[in-house]
Structure 1
Amino acid sequence: MTNAAAPATAAEALARIGALREALSGSGDAADRAAEFPHQGIDALKNAGLLSAAAPAAYGGAGLTAAELTELAMRIGGHCGSTGMIWVMHQIQLVCLAMGAESRPVIADYLRTAATEQHLIASVTSEAGIGGNLRTSRAALVQVGEDHLLEKHATTVSYGEQADSLLVTARRDQQAASDEQVLVLVLAKQARLRRTGPWNTLGMRGTCSAPQHLQAVVPSGQVLAEPFSVIAANIMVPLSHLLWAAVWAGIATDAFRRAVRFSQAKAARAGGTFAPDPRLGRMHATLTMLRSEVRGFAADFARNAQADAFPRDLTMQSNALKLSASEETVRVAAQALEVCGMAGYSEEGGFSIARHLRDLYSGRVMISNDKINAVNTELLLNGEDLLDRA
């Protein structure tokens, strides 16, 4: 099938996702059972031209804003958590590439190719021995003639084996400090990946985030000019927390809707003796506040990106959103499970909440909440009290 052109508007993108409901939902069930990549769902998004949603229009993408990407992420996440997470992680890589495209013709050319051919781009920021700190690397670029040799032992590489390219963090050279990092574009044909461990997890099983040993030789033009510290602070971290939160909100919203449908079916059977379950109201209130929080930060991020201004408090805001979303969505799904009872506890059927709850628990360990709280605490102790900032 020929890939469609990128959607011209966010409304068109949402309409395309609506048409893919069955493919996305069905792909999620199959991927979850076998911990396999959701080919059906990702192929459907690719054929609909939706993998290039975040790529700027100048490079052939839809050029959607963070706020618009957020709405798409919630919608996709409501159909399949793994597919939604893969889609948002890919979009984050597109935005990172776009940040470096103006100063690197090779990056600009690849961004056009990725948009036209609907390439899937993975991220390799994890590494053995760094304790989950993406702002630190042990791996370093090694100059070999005109090219660079890169070798990295990554603890998790989501959908790396299915990706067309990877964005990899490493020290600028062998003499660089651990936090003097760059971001390197590695094409799949340049990479040698070797899986070094299993992928058999509680949830988000379709992301296929097994540990990998990476070896690659790349030309210097594929090293982004901007320091990774700038890319991480301004783009990767806040956008990751925003779009992850959107996917989690989408999953929790679907769990809530299943609980509502279960209660409606129960009421129809009971006739006039049915007592409404107040947990539905509590879930709705929680989701209303959370979705508002997600959309509020999305609007803030989009405004900052348009003005090319990234205030220091962006880190704390995005961290707070990640913490809130990863915890509140689990509570919503747990309440939905209690409302649906055994029908929710089942792995099958239209009222099952099992995959929702398992997928949502991943949020607490996708960058540990304890580590994020520690970062925010350190910022607060250094005078970053932002609650009453005008």
Structure 2
Amino acid sequence: MTSAAAPATAAEALERVDALRDTLLAGGEAADRMASFPHKGIDALKESRLLCAAIPAEYGGAGLAAPGLAELAMRIGRCCGSTGMIWAMHQLQLACLVPSAATRPVLADYLRRAAAEQHLVASVTSEVGIGGNLRMSRAALVQAGEDHLLEKHATTVSYGEQADSLLVTARRDDQAAADDQVLVLVLAEQARLRRTGPWNTLGMRGTCSSPQHLQAVVPRGQVLAEPFSAIAARVMVPLSHILWAAVWTGIATDAFRRAVAFSQAKAKTGRRGSTFVPDSRLGRMHAVLTMLRAEVRGLAVEFADSRAAGGPPRDLTVPANALKVSASEESVRVAALALEVCGMAGYSEEGDFSVARHLRDLYSGRIMIANDKLNAVNTELLLTGEDFLD
């Protein structure tokens, strides 16, 4: 399927994802098996012009806000967790770029190019020696004439080797404090990546998030003017947790679907005259999924409304952290119940009722920014701030 223009609405984008379901499913299975990038699925999303979902229409994108992005992330996640997570992380990078494009012509031109050519944008925020702290950097920009030199040892760079560009955090200069960070757009042709470790993990194997050593030379115009601290609080933290949670909810939804299908097949093949007893675990799974979907959609709307209102956006750190913790834990419980319902058919790596990959992929959620760290942050904010339950 090839589309000449970006989808005009979230509903149209969902229709395009549905048309790609078989391709996404098959590509996800192959990527998981080989711990390889899901080329078929991502290429299909490119051909359907779904990589520019978060780019505003004025730059040639679909201009979808957080609620539409969350629905798409859930739908793609139902087909393949790795593909869904790649798509979600990519949209997050685009959303971080968009506000700066208004004052940086270089960034505006890049968004137009990214929409036209369906670029894939990766993130380089991790780093050796900072303990997983997003808001700290050892790497720094070093001025060299009209350009900047940048070198960074990253612990994980999801799909970095397949990306057309990278958004990299670094100290403003080599004299800046560790938390005085900027965000830098690095085009693939401006960078040299060297893999420094393997990627052979329990789940999310298709994200290809190996450690990388990055060296790059970038023009000044590709350094975002706004401090990274503001970008992180305003966009990166809340939207990442919304979209990650949406992907996990989508994966869990497909596990639930398989458990329902298994129960229906079991009822049809039961012995003549026997009474089929519905499995109450299906009801428990449905209740959890209903809650998760409502939480994702609710925070997505709140985020979009805050962005559209103008002025200082509301601080969504606490509810975003809470959503991430809840979704990463509850989605696993849904998949675990699906495994119990399906039994050996669910435990198998193959077949229509397998939920093995679902479980493996979902366990990644607890360590994508450790839940204990997020709970500690929320505890501190709640003890020193307002009552966030009002």
TM-score (norm 2): 0.98
Write the letter of the residue equivalent to 1:99: P
Give 1:233 shift.
Answer: 0.3
Output the CA distance in 1 between the equivalents of 2:386 and 2:368.
24
Partner of residue 346, structure 2: 344
What amino acid maps onto 2:170 in structure 1? A
What is the correspondence of 1:183-194 to structure 2 with a 5 Å cutoff?
183-194=183-194
Aligned counterpart, 2:121? 121
* Cα pair 1:249 1:290 within 8 Å, conserved: yes
1:320 to 300, 319, 322: 322
Specify which of 380, 386, 389 is matched with residue 387 of structure 1: 389
**Is the alpha carbon distance of 1:306 and 1:180 closer, same or farther for their aligned partners in structure 2, counting shifts above 3 Å?**
same
CA contact (8 A) 1:195 1:211 kept: yes
Deviations 1:18-73 (A, max 9, x none): 10000000000000000000000000000000000010001000000100111111
The unaligned stretches of length 5 or more in structure 2 are none
- Assess if the C-alpha contact under 8 Å between 2:70 and 2:300 holds in 1: yes
Which residue matches 1:356? 358
CA distance in 2, matches of 1:45, 1:327: 28
Map of 1:307 onto structure 2: 309
Q: Find the residue that maps to 1:218 and give its secondary structure.
A: strand
1:383 CA displacement: 2.6
Please tell me the residue identity of whatever aligns with 2:169: T
SS at match of 1:384: coil
| Residue identity in the other structure for 1:241 | H
**Equivalent of 1:292, from 291, 294, 299?**
294
Unpaired runs of at least 5, structure 1: none
Alignment correspondent of 1:279? 281
Deviations 1:174-224 (A, max 9, x none): 111111100000000000000000000000000000000000000000000
CA shift for structure 1 position 346: 0.1
Aligned to 1:246: 246
Corresponding residue number in structure 2 for 1:258:
258
Provide the rounded CA distance (Å) in 2 between the counterparts of 1:309 and 1:336: 45
- Letter matched to residue 156 of structure 1: T
**Deviation for aligned residue 1:361:** 0.3
Is the 8 Å Cα contact of residues 294 and 321 (structure 1) preserved in structure 2? yes
Equivalent residue number for residue 376 of structure 1: 378
Supply the distance in 2 between the matched residues of 1:264 and 1:309 (Cα, whole angstroms): 52
The amino acid that maps onto 1:184 is V
1:136 pairs with 2:170: no
**Shift of residue 312 of structure 1?**
5.2
How large is the Cα RMSD of the aligned pairs? 1.1
Instruction: Please give the alpha-carbon distance, in whole angstroms, between the structure 1 residues aligned to 2:243 and 2:312.
Output: 17
The equivalent residue for 2:110 is 110
2:154 maps to what in 1?
154
**1:49 corresponds to:** 49
Q: Distance in 2 between matches of 1:310 and 1:211?
A: 36
* CA distance, structure 2, for counterparts of residue 173 and residue 293 of structure 1: 40
Q: Is the 8 A contact 2:307 2:313 kept in 1?
A: no
8 A contact 1:3–1:46 mirrored in 2: no
**Map of 2:34 onto structure 1:** 34
Q: How does 1:19-30 map to 2 (within 5 A)?
A: 19-30=19-30
**Paired position in structure 2 for 1:329:** 331
**What does residue 66 of structure 1 align with?**
66
2-side partners of 1:54 and 1:228: how far apart? Answer: 19
Shift of 1:309: 4.7
| Contact persistence 2:306–2:314 (CA under 8 A) | no
Deviations 1:51-109 (A, max 9, x none): 00010001000000100111111000000000000001000111111011011110110
Cα distance in 2 for partners of 1:159, 1:309 equals 35
1:143 to 1:321, Cα distance in 2 relative to 1, 3 A: same
| Whole-Å separation in 2 of the counterparts to 1:2 and 1:101 | 28
Report Cα offsets for 1:340-379 as digits up to 9, x if no partner.
0000000000000000000000000000001101111111
Q: Distance in 2 between matches of 1:74 and 1:163?
A: 22
Identify the residue that residue 78 of structure 1 maps to in structure 2.
78
The secondary structure found in structure 2 opposite 1:193 is strand
1:211 alignment partner AA: P
Change (3 A) 1:97 1:219: same
Task: Give the secondary structure class of the aligned counterpart of 1:170.
Answer: strand
**Map of 1:215-254 to 2, 5 A cutoff?**
215-254=215-254
- CA pair 303-211 structure 1, distance change in 2 beyond 3 A: same
With 269-278 and 326-335 compared, the bigger mean Cα shift is at 269-278
Deviation at 1:331, TM superposition (A): 0.2
The CA deviation at 1:380 is 1.5
How far does residue 381 in structure 1 lie from its aligned partner after superposition?
Answer: 2.0
1:51 is paired with a residue of what secondary structure? coil
